[in-house]
């Protein structure tokens, strides 16, 4: 029921053709290699180049920086198809540009875009976003990393943590406080820090899931970066960060219902071929109900997400409604994924506890999607404030 082979309100023939190319790319280049990449704790650089050549990195960006200049449903196609591999770490690391690069493309100078956005979109460089600090991630306005002006440079000092692609990134989009006198949201800027900047050190972090993704703790010890590396207007970084988070949350919603669908498909196939008490377990009413409950939650999360994106593209909602619905979609989709991972492991029985099934991996990985990019609690706070509740 989830396949949409015909063009419809959201997907044109071009989207469908792009989807077919990506599906065979994922089947051929990604799915067979996940176990090896999880052992290595990172993706190979060659994957970024192959993905860049196909337009995987470019779906979000305009043609002048090497993107495909499509609408947001091209990004939906990318996120859904990459997630079909059932490994969140692949989606996270291959997609770290989708949180690291949009502020640069929207607000950066032409020179910065040529130097960093173009190679990232081509798959020649890896970008990452560094906002979260050891002192806390939810309260972005409280961030402490300082950038102090010294002639034509900023000198950056501070720490960032849980940074996706942090070990491999060639360039970081870093949220810093450029005006130490301003507390809270004021005085925050985004600045680009090349990965080879003296004084920048990285430590890998061990995790319960996303094993194919490298996650790092970063220390900036008096890192000198040209003033021209500031993205957009100085002191306006908080607003840019919030818009960036909003798009990240839509992406997480897409990844979540897509991963939920992987669980549903695996559980359905298992239930149809696993026999107990004289027949396939799919004929037991309780198992059938579980599968229907899974399908319903996936359908609801996907339909909500498509509707939000379509209405945003067609400028039909005020910003507060868009932000509130996006926050609700992230919670709805990640909770659908949590439900589906749990039920799929249950339907698979002992096999669901074994390494090698997608449901086992997704069961371990679902938690991060209810935390990263804004926790469930923060999403509900945000939706409430945007709706005037
Ligand atoms: C694998 C992984 C990858 C990540 N990748 C990146 C990345 O690439 N870049 C980046 O910048 N960050 C990244 N993060 C960080 C992520 O965005 C943060 O973990 C997240 O925003 C939560 O921040 P925190 O962990 O500091 O929790 P905290 O902010 O300390 O929150 C702890 C708990 O308190 C709750 N809480 C906080 N405030 C409130 C409130 N007002 N009301 C109710 N409850 C509240 C939270 O919901 C949570 O349950 C990543 C995290 C993980 C785990």
Question: What's the CA-to-centroid distance between 37 and ligand 1, angstroms?
Answer: 26
What pLDDT score does 382 carry?
Answer: 97
Q: What is the pLDDT of residues 29-68, one digit of tens each?
A: 999 999 999 999 999 999 999 999 999 999 989 999 999 9
Question: What's the CA-to-centroid distance between 310 and ligand 1, angstroms?
Answer: 28
Looking at the CA of residue 175, tell me the nearest atom of ligand 1: 11
Question: What's the CA-to-centroid distance between 136 and ligand 1, angstroms?
Answer: 7
- Percent of the chain past pLDDT 70, that is, above it, reads 100
What pLDDT score does 180 carry?
Answer: 83
For domain 238-386, give the CATH number: 1.20.140.10
Residue 5 has pLDDT above 90, yes or no: no
Question: What's the CA-to-centroid distance between 272 and ligand 1, angstroms?
Answer: 39
What pairs with residue 223 in β-bridges?
156
Mean pLDDT (the chain, rounded): 96
Residue 183 has pLDDT above 90, yes or no: no
What pLDDT score does 1 carry?
Answer: 79
Atom 2 in ligand 1: residue holding the nearest Cα: 162
| Contact yes or no for 83/19 (Cβ under 8 A) | no
User: What is the pairing mode between strands 153-164 and 127-130?
Assistant: unpaired
Atom 23 in ligand 1: residue holding the nearest Cα: 137
Pocket of ligand 1 (CB under 6 A): 128-132, 136-138, 162-164, 207, 210, 215, 368, 371-375, 377-378, 381
> Looking at domain 13-122, which of 1.10.540.10, 1.10.1060.10, 3.30.70.1070, 3.30.70.2190 is its CATH number?
1.10.540.10
| Contact yes or no for 127/99 (Cβ under 8 A) | no
Question: What's the CA-to-centroid distance between 24 and ligand 1, angstroms?
Answer: 35
Domain boundaries, the chain: 13-122, 127-234, 238-386
Question: What's the CA-to-centroid distance between 253 and ligand 1, angstroms?
Answer: 16
Question: What's the CA-to-centroid distance between 139 and ligand 1, angstroms?
Answer: 9
At 372, is the pLDDT very low, low, confident or very high (cuts 50, 70, 90)?
very high
Q: What is the pLDDT of residues 321-358, one digit of tens each?
A: 999 999 999 999 999 999 999 999 999 999 999 999 99
Looking at the CA of residue 132, tell me the nearest atom of ligand 1: 11
Question: What's the CA-to-centroid distance between 138 and ligand 1, angstroms?
Answer: 5
Can you tell me the distance from the alpha carbon of 204 to that of 46, in angstroms, rounded to the nearest whole number?
Answer: 21
Q: What is the pLDDT of residues 85-125, one digit of tens each?
A: 999 999 999 999 999 999 999 999 999 999 999 999 999 99
What pLDDT score does 368 carry?
Answer: 97
At 163, is the pLDDT very low, low, confident or very high (cuts 50, 70, 90)?
very high
Looking at the CA of residue 128, tell me the nearest atom of ligand 1: 8
Q: What is the pLDDT of residues 60-93, one digit of tens each?
A: 899 999 999 999 999 999 999 999 999 999 999 9
What pLDDT score does 73 carry?
Answer: 97
At 18, is the pLDDT very low, low, confident or very high (cuts 50, 70, 90)?
very high
Q: Ligand 1, from 41, 331, 372: best to mutate by most atoms within 8 Å of Cβ?
A: 372
> Looking at domain 127-234, which of 3.40.50.720, 2.40.160.10, 3.30.70.1350, 2.40.110.10 is its CATH number?
2.40.110.10
136-170 b/e (C-beta count within 10 Å ≥ 16 → b)? ebeebeebebbbeeeeebbbbbbbbbbbbbbbbbb
Residue 157 has pLDDT above 90, yes or no: yes
Q: What is the 3-state secondary structure (H, E, C) of 359-387?
A: HHHHHHHHHHHCCCCCCHHHHHHHHHHHC
Interval 228-254 mean pLDDT: 94
| Contact yes or no for 246/326 (Cβ under 8 A) | yes
Looking at the CA of residue 136, tell me the nearest atom of ligand 1: 26
């Amino acid at each position: 029921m989830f396949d949409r082979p015909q063009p419809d309100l959201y997907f044109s023939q071009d989207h469908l053709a792009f989807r077919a190319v990506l599906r065979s790319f994922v089947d051929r280049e990604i799915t067979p290699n996940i176990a090896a990449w999880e052992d290595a704790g990172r993706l190979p650089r060659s994957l970024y180049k192959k993905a860049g050549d196909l337009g995987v990195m470019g779906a979000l960006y305009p043609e002048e920086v090497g993107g495909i200049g499509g609408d947001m449903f091209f990004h939906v196609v990318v996120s859904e198809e990459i997630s079909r591999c059932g490994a969140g770490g692949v989606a996270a690391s291959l997609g770290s540009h989708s949180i690291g690069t949009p502020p640069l493309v929207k607000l950066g100078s032409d020179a910065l875009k040529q130097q960093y956005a173009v190679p990232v979109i081509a798959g020649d460089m890896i970008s990452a976003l560094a906002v979260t600090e050891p002192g806390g991630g939810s309260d972005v306005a409280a961030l402490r990393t300082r950038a102090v002006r010294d002639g034509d440079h900023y000198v950056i000092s501070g720490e960032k943590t849980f940074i996706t692609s942090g070990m491999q990134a060639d360039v970081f989009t870093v949220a810093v406080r450029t005006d130490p006198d301003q507390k809270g949201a004021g005085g925050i800027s985004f600045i680009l820090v090349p990965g080879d900047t003296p004084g920048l050190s990285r430590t890998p972090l061990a995790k319960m899931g996303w094993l194919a993704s490298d996650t790092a703790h970063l220390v900036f010890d008096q890192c000198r970066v040209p003033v021209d590396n500031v993205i957009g207007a100085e002191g306006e970084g908080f607003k840019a960060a919030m818009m960036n988070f909003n798009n990240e949350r839509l992406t997480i919603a897409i990844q979540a219902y897509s991963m939920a669908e992987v669980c549903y498909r695996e559980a359905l196939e298992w239930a149809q071929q696993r026999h107990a008490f004289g027949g396939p377990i799919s004929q037991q009413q309780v198992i059938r109900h579980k599968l229907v409950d899974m399908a319903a939650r996936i359908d609801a999360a996907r339909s909500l997400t498509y509707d939000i994106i379509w209405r945003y593209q067609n400028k039909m909602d005020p910003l507060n409604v868009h932000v509130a619905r996006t926050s609700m979609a992230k919670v709805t989709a990640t909770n659908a994924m949590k439900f589906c991972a749990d039920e799929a492991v249950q339907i698979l029985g002992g096999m669901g506890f074994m390494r090698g099934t997608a449901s086992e991996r997704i069961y371990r990985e679902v938690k991060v999607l209810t935390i990263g990019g804004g926790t469930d609690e923060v999403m509900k706070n945000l939706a409430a404030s945007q709706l005037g509740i």
